[in-house]
Structure 1
Amino acid sequence: MSDAQQRRPAESAAPVCVAVGELESFVGAVLQAAGADAPSAEATVRALVGASLRGVDSHGVRLLPHYVKVLQGGRVKGRPEMRFEARAAAVGVLDADNALGAAAGYRAMAEAVKLAETAGVGAVSVTNSSHFGAAGAYALAAAEAGYLGLSVCNSDSAVLAHSGRDKFHGTNPISFAAPVAGARPYLIDMATSSIPFNRVLQFKALDRELPPEVVVDAAGQLTRDPGRAASLLPLGGATYGYKGAALAGMVEVLSAMLTGMRLSHEIPNMIESDWSEPRRLGQFFLALKPEAFLPGEAFAERMAEYLRALRKQASLPGERVMAAGDREWAVERQRSAQGIPLDAHNWQVFTALAGACGVAALTPI
């Protein structure tokens, strides 16, 4: 790649697109250079590039430098020895051995699907895991296999308790996905905070102002400056945040109490803690087999009927009523054809990673 090609993205505010396949190869090569084995790297590529493809940029390939740091620092094992134990007909526990979170997440959902194949339902809790990126990756994996999927994970404190002064819950994401015959799945993928913490970091890196009423500063005052953000507001904001706080609490029960892992306020900070210290995250995955509840194609037919009725709803001028996942699949189609955009900051970081890890640098489309 020429010097002009390397400078072009960094000198422009406009993002530069990279072909999906090339980005997958780059991310995988960097992870393996940092110490990940092939299965761990493949799972993480699938999660990160998949999130970027769907437009979930806050949890996409921009997380690659962080994963390199935790691999090199020893917080995460690049070659884990994960152990799965079936505890009942439809229940299992996966000890992730401090693996990359994506490796643990995909393995856990695959085990949940296996349980559901015979029992109709499969529930798997995960111990000793780490940051797993976008929760939607794992619910989506279940839906793509023909199952309903649920994935949740708590995280270090970043969100105010409703009516509280200090951060208490993590962003505690929830994802649910359902298969749709002949189409991409129905997909919910959301934090229980008003905005994900990684989105705040993204706005800070781009020097952009935040939306109103999503964060507060150290004094507890609302701010739109990502550099002053001290805590996030729960989903629902200052008035209705009790709803988001309750959902965050549910995630705590499933991810921490059910696994014996750390509560949000006990988890070391993702960025500021020692890179060699495992964070001992717990996670929870659920798979449901539709045919165990309804005969034949009944579920698929009802799902199609629901989506048709929803999308036919009258919309406001200039708007369109969409089902959960519709926006993501539109972005996926566009980026699959045109490439995944990288902003100037990430381009600079990835160029530096290529040099440090001895892998070929990315080239713009």
Structure 2
Amino acid sequence: MDRSYPVDALVALGARALEAAGVPSADAELTAAALVDADRRGIASHGLLRLPLYVSSVQARGVNARPNPTWVREHGAVAVLDADAALGQVAMAAATERAAQLAGQFGVAVVAVQNSTHYGAGAYWTERLTARGLLGILTSTTGVTVTPFGGVEKVLGTNPLTLAAPSAGPASLTADMATSAGAYGKVVAAQNEGKPIPEGWAVDADGRPTTDPTAALAGALLPFGGPKGSAVAVLLEALAASLTTASYAYQTEDIWANRSARMNTGHLLLAIDTAAFTSREHTERRVADLQEKVRASAAAGETTFAPGDIEHAHAQSHAETVPLAGSTVAQLVELLTSLGLETTPLEP
């Protein structure tokens, strides 16, 4: 049964666990805040469910607790960051800030990241841009989990795609999604909770459709949208890795399988300054108009949401407390105990 816990206490808990593993306090707090924000949005697959993985990977040195990120190339509106195997949140904080600076100078910016790891929910980073009047497009490689349309062998990652535009309304217009039919973290969560996954998400090791999350993890996830979704996933893989020395998914040893693996994850972030076109106010009004038109398209008595509405509403309703699945709480208690830390506030 899910229980709710104070947001501030969960961020502090996550930061303490990461610090105990050797992560500097500022990086630990940043990472913990990003994880809890995902839980607030209702994206548990990218929330504190991931904390034990992060901590064990830091301990095994798959993730570098104290990296030295370096800008290895800067050319006009383009910059490339070598993250030195940092936590993905640490890498993305630097990438997002540089993208915003370059977009303010040139009107548009493209920042590529190599030698990184999982950055969590993409909307956390694009909303740093929309808050400054910028449009954001973000994608990333991951570990190998997905077979292309018509295939059986795992070749691709879940290749997340986040698109975000600033709005004069209460929330940005944001689409944040995996290009697999279901997020890898959701399959892991289903396995932890002993629940099936939806049909059409995965095949087992023999290529047969399955709703068993354990069989899915041993087999392969499927791309969303059949051949069209598969094509998008393949192109995102190219965008996220081919511009740098980042690894493709099929070249990556995932920290889910080997905590000491250096994943060399690649990210690609595009930032567009709305003020370079008409004005920030113009774009935000136009985006808000579109959001309202989408919402107004519902049949009588029904509700239609603009992209990002559900996550924004979930975050607003969980501004102070966040529900966590019982399986996640059990793993967090086990993690804190192993680190010699107090399990408060997770105790009943």
Fold shared, TM-score > 0.5 on shorter chain: yes
In structure 1, C-alpha distance between the alignment counterparts of 2:283 and 2:95, rounded to whole Å: 25
> AA paired with 1:28?
A
> AA paired with 2:341?
V
1:279 to 226, 244, 263: 263
Whether contact under 8 Å (2:145, 2:156) holds in the other structure is: yes
Counterpart in 1 of 2:228?
243
Whether contact under 8 Å (2:179, 2:223) holds in the other structure is: yes
2:223 matches 1:234: yes
Q: Which runs of 5+ in 1 are unaligned?
A: 1-13
In structure 2, C-alpha distance between the alignment counterparts of 1:269 and 1:44, rounded to whole Å: 19
Q: How many residues get paired?
A: 345
Counterpart in 2 of 1:42?
29
> AA paired with 1:350?
L
Q: Deviations over 1:261-288 (max 9, x none)?
A: 1111101133213x22311111111111
In structure 1, C-alpha distance between the alignment counterparts of 2:246 and 2:42, rounded to whole Å: 31
Please show how residues 45-194 of structure 1 align to structure 2 within 5 Å.
Answer: 45-85=32-72, 87-194=74-181
Counterpart in 1 of 2:272?
288
In structure 2, C-alpha distance between the alignment counterparts of 1:305 and 1:329, rounded to whole Å: 18
How far apart are residue 313 of structure 1 and its match? 0.6
How far apart are residue 353 of structure 1 and its match? 1.9
How far apart are residue 333 of structure 1 and its match? 1.5
User: Could you state the TM-score of these two structures normalised by the residue count of structure 2?
Assistant: 0.95
> AA paired with 2:316?
R
User: Could you state the TM-score of these two structures normalised by the residue count of structure 1?
Assistant: 0.91
CA RMSD between the two structures: 1.6
How far apart are residue 166 of structure 1 and its match? 1.5
Deviates more, 1:353-362 or 1:88-97: 353-362
Counterpart in 2 of 1:321?
304
Q: Which runs of 5+ in 2 are unaligned?
A: none
CA shift in 2, pair 1:140/1:295, >3 Å: closer
In structure 2, C-alpha distance between the alignment counterparts of 1:152 and 1:295, rounded to whole Å: 26
3-state SS of 1:336 partner: coil
Whether contact under 8 Å (1:39, 1:103) holds in the other structure is: no
Q: Deviations over 1:239-266 (max 9, x none)?
A: xx11111111221122110112111110
1:304 to 288, 299, 306: 288
Once the two structures are aligned, what percentage of the paired residues are identical? 33
In structure 1, C-alpha distance between the alignment counterparts of 2:173 and 2:24, rounded to whole Å: 32
How far apart are residue 193 of structure 1 and its match? 0.6
> AA paired with 1:328?
E
Whether contact under 8 Å (2:160, 2:177) holds in the other structure is: yes
3-state SS of 1:265 partner: helix
